[in-house]
Amino acid sequence: GETVYDAAVGSAGFLCEAYAHLRASKELSASEYEQLQSHTLYGKEKKSLAYVIGIMNMILHGIEAPNIIHANTLGENVMDLQEKDRFNIILANPPFAGSLDYESTAKDLQQIVKTKKTELLFGALFLRLLQTGGRAAVIVPDGVLFGSSNAHKALRKILVEDQKLDAVISMPSGVFKPYAGVSTAILFFTKTNSGGTDNVWFYDMQADGYSLDDKRTPQPDKSDLPDILTRWQSREDETERKRTDQSFLVPKDEIAGNDYDLSINRY
């Protein structure tokens, strides 16, 4: 019954995984299967080749009629008014280090955060697209966590003060090799428009089950993912964890006192 959206679909990996997860979660009735097929998974992709690959990938994974639009998600006049406050869940890995002219960017996004940086504009976009109560898991470059520009600080302050920032999971720099070596993190947040951040859960992921070199060889005995999932589901019980542990909670006031810095090393 919930909708899942990816604003930068690429090869549609996130949507295919969401579909597989929902298919496996329970035995679906005919109406639930129809809901999953036709009214659950949505997305946009700017690049023509990636758009075609994403559509094909979804079809090959069993999604019969993908709801993917070929458009510049951040562009002026592209934002469909029907999409505002529409989606329950956003899963996304938006492009890093991109830059757009102010003139070609949707004005309502510039009102949230005045910037040309695509990774910050996507953050503003997700807040616009989520329903109140909607949740997001978004991969961002580390610079989003500690960047000192006004736009960086403004977006982090919005997430902490106006919305509910749930967690920051830092990832090692090799997880996107051989395509990129940049260090990244996952931001988990809930759109409330009324605050709600109390403690933010931080986790320092060291391994994801693959080698962190260009070969990315499977290493299933070296993965923090099972521990992350277990601790995420009971993260409110982590109050006694030391700051030297792999995961811990940080009070909102401490984050605000640090200029809303969200890098785990700060804490």
81/108 Cα distance (integer angstroms): 12
pLDDT in tens, 112-125: 787 878 889 899 99
pLDDT of amino acid 127: 92
Report whether pLDDT(88) > 80: yes
Confidence category of residue 22, pLDDT binned at 50, 70, 90: very high
For 72, residues 6+ apart whose C-beta sits below 8 A from its C-beta are 46, 78
Could you tell me the pTM of the whole model? 0.92
Look-up of token digits 């320092």? 204
> Which residues make Cβ contacts (< 8 Å) with residue 11, sequence separation at least 6?
50, 53, 54, 57
Region of poorest pLDDT, from 20-29, 94-103, 258-267: 94-103
Q: How far is CA 129 from the centre of its chain?
A: 13
Extract the tokens encoding 208.
Answer: 């994801």
Please enumerate in sequence order all residues whose Cβ is within 8 A of that of 60, keeping only pairs 6 or more positions apart, or say none.
Answer: none
pLDDT band at 78 (very low <50, low <70, confident <90, very high): very low
pLDDT of residue 116: 78
Query: Using alpha carbons only, how large is the chain's radius of gyration in Å?
Result: 18
The pLDDT of 217-244, averaged and rounded, is 95
Residue-wise pLDDT for 223-232, tens only, equals 999 999 999 9
Mean pLDDT, rounded, of the chain: 91
Which pLDDT value is given to residue 104? 58
Beta strands in 16-175 (DSSP E): 41-45, 67-70, 87-92, 130-141, 164-171
